[in-house]
Amino acid sequence: MANFRNLLSLFLLSQFFNPTYAQHFALSRLFYPNVSLKADYTVPSSLDGTRDYGMSRTGFFGIIPLQSEVQLGYSLRKKLDLRAVHTVMLAQYTQIQPTLDGKNNPENGYKTLSLGVIRLQASIKDRLWVYGGGLGMTETNETFFSPQPFFWGGAARMHILGLRTQIMYGSVIAYNQKLRFVPVFGVNKGLGRHWRASAVLPFMANVNYKATKWFNVDMLAGLNGYSGGFQIQTPEEKQLRRENYRHIKVGVSANAHLFTAINISVEAGVTTFRQLKTFNSARENLTSYTPATTPYIGASVRYITSRSKLSSKFIRKMGLGQTGINW
C-alpha cells in the first residue's frame, strides 16, 4: 500500500520482477544507478452509484549501488568458495491524489516517502540470496502531524536452473497499519528467443516480448494499492482516521530504450477488484466502497546515470531479464 507492495516486490529481486507500477522484471536495474519519473491516471468511475471516484499518481524512484565486491571464502566442507556481494539503496517518493466527482479534497490526497537497502549475495555454486529491509511513511496532504509508518524486511533464495530459467522463494515480515507475514514464490522463464514469462506471487505476473534491442512490450497483472491517515478535529476530540485502497491491475506497456541512458514507457489497462475503506485508530470500520472497474493510463521516464560492460555481459549471459524500463 502506498507503493508498499511495490517495495516488497522490488526487495525480492527488484524486478527479477514494484513495484507498483508496470510489472516488467529486470534484475539488471540493481547494477546501475538510475532514477525513474512516473505518472499515471485512473479514469473516474462509480463509487456508490451517486459519486465518481478517480485517482492520479506521480513520483520518482531511485536505485543507488553502494557496494560491489568479490570475496574469497572457505566453507565448512573445507572447500574454497568465491562469493560476489552487491548492495544497493532504494529511495521512493509518491504523491497520490484521489478525486470525488472530479474535485480534489486535501484530506483525500496522500504522499509517501521510503528508503530501503537490498543486499545480493551469490556464490560460484549458483546460490543466490537476497536480503533487504526498509522503512517509510505515508501522510495526508493536509498535515504533517499524523504520519502512518511502515517497514519491511526479509530474505529470498534464488536457484538458477539454466541460462534462461530461475526460481525464487522467500518471505517478508512487514508492518503497514498491521503486522503481516508474506510468503513469496517467483519464477523467471525464457520462452524462445523473444519471449519471457515472470511471476512473483502473490504480487505480480508478467509476459515480456522483446521485439528489438531497443523496444519491448509487457503484458502484465499486479496487486497494488496505498494507505494513509488524517485527523478530523472536533470541539470534543481529535479523531485519527486511516484509509486503505487496493486494486488489481491488468494492462500492456510499451517500452523504448533510447540514447543508451534513457528509457521511456507508456502503459494502459484496467483496474478491477477495487476496495476503498476508511477506519479509525481502533480499527472500527467507518466506510467501505467497491469502486467500479475502470481504465488507467500511465507513462514513465528512467535515466541510467552509468553502465558497466561487465555487469551488462553478466546479466545478458545469465538470462536474468532486460534492462527494465518500469518501476
- pLDDT digits 0-9 by tens, 34-90: 889 999 999 999 998 888 999 999 999 898 888 777 767 665 565 676 777 788 899
Confidence at residue 255, expressed as pLDDT on a 0 to 100 scale: 92
148 pLDDT more than 50: yes
- Segments forming the whole domain that contains residue 147: 4-318
- CA distance linking residue 67 with residue 150, whole number of Å: 26
> Per residue in 294-319, pLDDT tens?
999 999 998 887 655 545 544 554 44
Specify the pLDDT at position 247: 92
Which of the pair, 202 or 39, is modelled with greater confidence?
A: 39
pTM higher than the cut 0.85: no
Q: Are 295 and 19 in contact, with CB atoms under 8 Å apart?
A: no
CB atoms within 10 A of CB 276: 20
Mean pLDDT of 135-140: 85
* Overall domain count for the chain: 1
Name the more confident of 226 and 185: 185
245 belongs to a structural domain: yes
Q: How many CA atoms lie within 13 Å of 170's alpha carbon, on the beta-carbon side?
A: 25
Q: What is the pLDDT of residue 20?
A: 33
Determine, yes or no, domain membership for 53. Answer: yes
Residue 275 has pLDDT above 80, yes or no: yes
Beta strands in the chain (DSSP E): 34-46, 52-74, 80-100, 103-104, 110-123, 127-140, 148-162, 165-176, 179-191, 195-201, 204-210, 215-233, 238-258, 262-280, 285-289, 294-304
Does the pLDDT value for residue 129 go beyond 50?
A: yes
What pLDDT score does 203 carry?
85
Residue 164 has a pLDDT of: 79
Q: What average pLDDT is seen over the chain?
A: 78
Flag whether 324 is in a domain: no
Asked, for residue 323, whether it belongs to a domain, the answer is: no
Q: Residue 148 is which amino acid? A: Q
Q: What is the pLDDT of residue 117?
A: 92
Q: Most confidently modeled of 136-140, 175-179, 299-303, 308-312? A: 299-303
| pLDDT at residue 291, rounded to an integer | 94
Q: Give the confidence band of 105 by pLDDT, cuts at 50, 70, 90.
A: low
Task: Inform me whether the pLDDT recorded for 253 exceeds 70.
Answer: yes
Percent of the chain predicted with pLDDT > 70: 75
Q: What is the mean pLDDT of residues 1-11?
A: 46
How would residue 280 be classed by pLDDT, with cut points 50, 70 and 90? confident
Instruction: Please state, for a pLDDT cut of 90, what percent of the chain lies above it.
Output: 25
The answer to whether the CB of 129 falls within 8 A of the CB of 121 is yes
- Taking residues 172-200, report their average pLDDT: 87
pLDDT for 19 beyond 70: no
Q: For position 9, what pLDDT does the model report?
A: 47
Whether residue 125 is contained in a domain is answered as yes
Q: Considering the domain boundaries, does residue 194 fall inside one?
A: yes
> CATH number of the domain that 229 lies in?
2.40.160
Is there a contact between 232 and 188 (Cβ–Cβ < 8 Å)? no
In a domain, 106, yes or no: yes
186: closest CA among 175, 248, 327, 172?
A: 172
Name the maximum alpha-carbon separation found in the chain: 72
Residue 281 in any domain: the answer is yes
Mean pLDDT value across residues 244-272:
91
